[in-house]
Amino acid sequence: MQLRKLGRTGIAVSEIGFGAWGIGGELWQGATDIESMAALHRAADLGLNFIDTALAYGDGHSERLVGRFIKERREPITVATKIPPVNRVWPAHPGSKLSNVFPYRHLLESTERSLRNLGVETIDIQQLHVWLDDWTDLPEWFEAVSQLKEQGKIRFFGISLNDHQPESALRVAASGKVDTLQVIYNIFDQSPADKLFPLCLEHGIGTIVRVPLDEGALTGSVTPATTFPEDDFRNGYFRGNRKLEVQEHVEKLRPLLGQEASTLPELALRFCLNPASVSTVIPGMRTVPHAEENCAVSDGRHLSPGLAKKLRAHRWEKNYYASPLD
């Protein structure tokens, strides 16, 4: 497993991190705690040392599993978690008042809950789970963050950006107030590379890439015949005619498979690791085979300029989180 610096934090994190939404249960079906713990341990055995979770994932269940896991490991594991919006609205609606989303006390109290769930005295990276750049200069959130740092309850602070809205954090990225930013980036959604990634590199901000497989679309396993459990998040994400759309776009990627990447998931992860600004990529992992396949990508090899250029041509402007039913 290769390591990269998490921006100016100085923390060396594994190129492949563990996205822990799926192990929280609730909106993702099919995972068991036994399988989740086995996947976490296998990933760590392979050199993974970074986990991203959130208080909202299974109402703390994901955090509690991660807390159990880190107690069972001898080596240090860097853990990032997130404070949910108090109004439970994802993403933040334009024009939302900070006081209705992240009031001062909520930031402190949520951090205390996460500390208890994780069973630690200090959270490595605390993040806000939504963001509007209009809040950048408001003092309340930054005062809470500063207090948590001074008290030793968090080491570093970041923001998990709204779905497909990388330009919603350009002001805060340039402000010097955040240590990390988490953003959606994959072969289809390449928008962070336009302005956000260069800004993060300029200001030493650690960049955490989420949804590298586009919620499973880039695994090549989603077809019009694919079904998911009734309460599974993906039923909404791939609703209507979207499975066919995905299949059509993914099939155009298959001719690019070869010596540099033999499978679609490998191709997708290598694409995400290509920008110099990216610190770590956090695919979801719920089984040992997932962990093994994902971690194997961090082997020191990089995409050739020719293949990287071909992949950039597959940019697809869509937002399956927000766009209406097809």
pLDDT of residue 323: 52
Q: Mean pLDDT check: name the lowest of 2-11, 160-169, 258-267.
A: 160-169
Fold of 10-312: TIM Barrel (3.20.20)
Radius of gyration (C-alpha) of the chain in whole angstroms: 19
**Packing angle, helices 61-72 and 33-45, rounded to 10:** 40
Domain map (residue ranges) of the chain: 10-312
pLDDT category of residue 325 using cuts at 50, 70 and 90: very low
Tally of residues, the chain? 326
Rounded to an integer, the average pLDDT of 66-89 is 96
Q: Mean pLDDT check: name the lowest of 249-253, 285-289, 295-299.
A: 285-289
State percent of the chain over pLDDT 70: 97
